Amino acid sequence: MSKLAKPSREEAEAAVKTLLAWAGDDTEREGLVDTPRRVVNAYEQYFKGYDEDPIEILGRRFDDVGGYDDIVLLRDINFHSHCEHHMAPFIGKAHVAYIPNKAVVGISKIARVVDIYARRLQIQEKMTMQIADAIEEALQPRGVAVFVQAEHQCMSMRGVMKPNVDTITTQFRGEYNTPEMKAAFMSMIRS
């Protein structure tokens, strides 16, 4: 992803102040005076995924795995993201598995890849594919499976206002793209 020119911190804070005024509040009242600074600080955390490279994170592999060549699964990786359409949060869990092809990666790196993509403006479908793409590119495994389940606040807090609706997206690649392996993966994440 190429780097875009970013507005200054002062410009970002001024934009937040404009939105607060547009909402109808007094930006000079005590409770809102520091809100633009706090919102920009929060955005730095929410969207820090733009500053990280998932391929680099997955770059350190371990070849000495004693012949291990079966499933590596991380289940229940909690994440929060923001939809690119309304900038509203979506919160959920990702389950990620791969079948190594001679090498493995430290398990925390898989969770970090989920966070890198979650901490960008997203749609869940694209995020699910990006996680699978990064693992495929960096590890060249025999198979990858990604299952993402999330509740979107843009649907529960606005629009149709339907809370507690989960959206599920999946990607099955390589040896995982068979009915038997899909069933095995689904069984493992549900157990």
Domain boundaries, the chain: 9-46, 61-190
- pLDDT single digits (tens) 68-112: 889 999 999 999 999 999 999 999 999 999 999 988 999 999 999
**Catalytic annotation present for 11:** no
| Active-site residue identified among 83, 95, 130, 171 | 83
CA distance 63 to 25: 58
**How confident is the model at residue 74, as a pLDDT?**
98
| Active-site residue identified among 124, 130, 153, 171 | 124
Give the C-alpha distances (Å, rounded to integers) separating 77 from 126, 131, 143. 17, 12, 19
**Catalytic annotation present for 137:** no
End-to-end CA distance of the chain: 37
| Active-site residue identified among 52, 80, 136, 154 | 154
**How confident is the model at residue 66, as a pLDDT?**
86
- Higher per-residue confidence, 103 vs 40: 40
Q: Is the pLDDT of residue 178 over 80?
A: yes
Q: Residue 121 forms beta bridges with which residues? A: 82
Give the C-alpha distances (Å, rounded to integers) separating 144 from 27, 158, 166. 49, 35, 22
| Active-site residue identified among 95, 122, 152, 153 | 152
Whether pTM exceeds 0.85: yes
**Catalytic annotation present for 171:** no
* Average pLDDT of the residues in 156-169: 93
- Strand, coil or helix: 71: coil
- pLDDT single digits (tens) 122-144: 999 999 999 999 999 999 999 99
**Catalytic annotation present for 80:** no
**Catalytic annotation present for 153:** no
Give the whole-number percent of the chain exceeding pLDDT 70.
Answer: 98
**How confident is the model at residue 134, as a pLDDT?**
98
Structure token digits, residue 169: 């997206």
**Catalytic annotation present for 83:** yes
- Strand, coil or helix: 142: coil
CATH: 3.30.1130.10, 3.40.228.10, 3.90.960.10, 3.30.530.20. Which one for 61-190?
3.30.1130.10
Bridge-based pairing of strands 89-99 and 143-152 is: antiparallel
**How confident is the model at residue 4, as a pLDDT?**
81
**Catalytic annotation present for 82:** no
